[in-house]
Amino acid sequence: MFKDTSRYNNRPLKLHTKPNGEQVSYVARRFLPKPESLQTAGYQLVGQSDRLDHVAHRAYGDPEQFWRVVDATLEFDPPRLTDTPGARLRIPMVTPE
């Protein structure tokens, strides 16, 4: 259902029954890891006009892995991570889920 590199890969599907009896499947909630539990692979400096997908592409070769960079922070507004050129972002290791 999801690519191997998706943050939702291996998440179980759940079933919700609406009051009218209709059943709807959904992906179970993903709990965020504690940033300190993630091993650090390195750091990336935020460039001018950078976005998280750019950072992820440089770090992992895949812009869709931006969520890994966000998981390594406590930021609730991910685009803020690239607001400041020259900011240093921690890049976590890719570990099997």
Helix (H) or strand (E) holding 15: strand 13-17
* Helix/strand/coil for 6: coil
| Mean pLDDT (whole number) for 25-52 | 95
60 pLDDT above the threshold of 60: yes
Spatial contact of 93 and 42, defined as CB atoms under 8 Å apart: no
| Mean pLDDT (whole number) for 7-34 | 94
For the chain, what percent of residues have pLDDT higher than 90? 86
How much is the pLDDT for 97? 56
| Mean pLDDT (whole number) for 89-96 | 88
Please, which residues bridge with residue 92 across strands? 40
pTM of the model: 0.82
| Mean of pLDDT over the chain | 94
CA atoms of 9 and 27, how far apart (whole Å): 10
DSSP 49-82: T--HHHHHHHHHS-GGGHHHHHHTS--SSGGGGG
